[in-house]
Every structure is written in C-alpha cells, then in structure tokens.
C-alpha cells in the first residue's frame, strides 16, 4: 500500500457552481463534470466546488485558502442590471446567486493575486465585474454570425470546432499558444460589448466578436475565453496549453 505521506500535495482550485432551482422543488448547486475533470487532469490541480451561497460564504477568507479559481460556463447569463441594462427575454435565464458569488470571487482573486481562469459565462462575468457590458444576442448585431450552440444533443458536434480566432501578439493567450490563430468551438449567444476596465481583447473571431480577454496590468494570471476549452481538454492542443499555463501559474504561486 502506498504511503500517503509521500503523495504529492496538489494545489487547490475553486470551481464556481450554479444554483439550479427552476426545475425541481429541491434547489441544488452543480458543476459539469468536464470542468472538474479538465482542471484535475490538464492543470494537475485539485478542484473543489464553490457553491452559489454569497450570503453565507466568507469570500475573502475562502479565496485566501485557494491556490486558483476557475469560473465555469452555464446555461444562465449575467443579470443585465449588472451592466446597467434592462432585463429582457433575450438575456434570460438568470442565476443571481451565482452572480453575487462570482463577482465577489473575481474581486478577491484580483486583490489577492490568485490565478483566475474564466470560461464562457465566467468570461462574461469577468468582463462585467470590471465595468464592461454585454450584447444580449450577438447574432442580432449587423455583420455578426450566430455563435450559439448547434443544439444537436451530440456533444461531438455541439462542442466541435466551429470557427477560427485571431490572436493579439501582445496578449496572454498568444504568450500561451505562440500562434496567430486557432480553431474553437462556439456555444454562446451573448458577447462582450464594452470591455471592462484593465482588460484587453486577446483574440477575436472574424466577425469582430471578442473571444479572449486578459488583464495586462495584473501581476497574477488572469485569462478569460468565450469558448469551451474544458471539453475533452486532453485531446485538444489549444485546450491543453491553456490548462497547463493555468496550472503552472497556480503551482508557481505556492512555491
């Protein structure tokens, strides 16, 4: 039997959860398996789920105990009041308990210089938390394509390569991937409108939609991507590079 004292001590990454309550009399907090699995296998860290309990969590203390934070995608969207817009059917559904939790996590991750990786909804949360805004429906903007999921219920199709992105050579993503373009999947119908304070567009789609953001003035790792690198991360070189870079940042912080 292996000696547990000789096992490596893995860094701990907090992973944001959603609060699901519309379809059941028993609300529950949940995270898709693919996010947890990608963090564990491709970043070589230990994922722990952070429930959407903003009124009960001591966020500053929680963040101080974490080595990294990943914000996940979701079927819900950031509530428009967060970016000074009116609620509309186009921007639904919402999860305001998650909003409160993740916005506090973002603030503390930046304040405490804890590495932060933000995916899809998390990417949009990062932008809005820093003063940016969103388009409720990107496909309704002139000259923009439909970025939403094909919704075939076939994961290979829905999460398959959809369009290319062009990287800014001054951005964090280019530093990680070391290439000018990449193919990504696309399962979002909202998009960044105004960039948040201190953020830069690391990558854009051909129609101008911002696909990745970073924070050049921040000492710690901050990266947001609009697509889903967590899906079969170990089989995709772009995803592998992103999760490895995040894992390296997490490990470097505790060494």
Q: What structural domains does the chain harbor?
A: 11-254 (3.40.50.880)
Judge contact between 226 and 34, C-beta under 8 A: no
DSSP state of 91: G
175 is known as an active-site residue: no
What confidence score (pLDDT) does residue 1 get? 44
79 is known as an active-site residue: no
Indicate the pLDDT class of residue 213, thresholds 50, 70 and 90. Answer: very high
Catalytic residue selected from 29, 147, 188, 228 = 228
18 is known as an active-site residue: no
Arithmetic mean of pLDDT, 13-24: 89
Phi/psi zone of residue 100: left (φ > 0), alpha (ψ -120 to 50 degrees), beta?
A: alpha
Indicate the pLDDT class of residue 115, thresholds 50, 70 and 90. Answer: very high
Indicate the pLDDT class of residue 2, thresholds 50, 70 and 90. Answer: very low
Indicate the pLDDT class of residue 24, thresholds 50, 70 and 90. Answer: confident
Give dist(CA 243, CA 46) in Å, integer: 13
Give dist(CA 51, CA 101) in Å, integer: 8
Indicate the pLDDT class of residue 148, thresholds 50, 70 and 90. Answer: confident
Arithmetic mean of pLDDT, 65-89: 95
Judge contact between 224 and 118, C-beta under 8 A: yes
What confidence score (pLDDT) does residue 4 get? 47
- Whether the per-residue pLDDT at 8 is higher than 80: the answer is no
What confidence score (pLDDT) does residue 72 get? 98
Length of the chain as a residue count: 255
Catalytic residue selected from 120, 125, 147, 211 = 120
What confidence score (pLDDT) does residue 12 get? 97
Arithmetic mean of pLDDT, 236-251: 97
Residues with Cβ within 8 Å of residue 241, at least 6 apart in sequence: 176, 177
- Whether the per-residue pLDDT at 224 is higher than 90: the answer is yes
What confidence score (pLDDT) does residue 6 get? 47
What confidence score (pLDDT) does residue 165 get? 98
Arithmetic mean of pLDDT, 15-43: 92
């Amino acid at each position: 039997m292996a000696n547990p004292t000789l096992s490596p001590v893995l860094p701990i990454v907090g992973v944001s959860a959603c609060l699901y309550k519309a379809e059941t009399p028993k609300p529950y907090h949940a995270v898709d398996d693919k996010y947890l699995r990608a963090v564990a296998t491709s970043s070589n860290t230990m994922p722990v789920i952070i429930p959407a309990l903003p009124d009960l969590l001591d966020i500053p203390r929680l963040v101080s105990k974490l080595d990294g934070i990943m914000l996940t995608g979701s079927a819900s969207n950031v509530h428009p009041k967060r970016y000074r817009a009116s609620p509309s059917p186009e921007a639904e559904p919402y999860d305001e308990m998650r909003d409160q939790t993740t916005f506090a996590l973002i603030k503390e991750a930046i304040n405490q210089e804890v590495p932060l990786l933000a995916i899809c909804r998390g990417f949009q949360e990062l932008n809005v938390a820093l003063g940016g805004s969103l388009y409720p429906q990107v496909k309704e903007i002139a000259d923009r394509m439909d970025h939403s999921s094909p919704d075939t219920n076939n994961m290979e199709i829905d999460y398959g390569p959809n369009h290319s992105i062009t990287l800014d050579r001054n951005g964090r993503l280019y530093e990680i991937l070391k290439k000018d373009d990449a193919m990504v999947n696309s399962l979002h119908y909202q998009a960044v409108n105004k960039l948040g304070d201190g953020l830069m567009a690391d990558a854009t789609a051909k129609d101008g939609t911002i696909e990745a953001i970073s924070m050049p003035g921040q000492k710690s790792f901050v990266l947001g991507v609009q697509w889903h690198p967590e899906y079969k991360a170990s089989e995709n070189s772009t995803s592998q590079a992103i999760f490895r870079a995040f894992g390296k940042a997490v490990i470097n912080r505790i060494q």
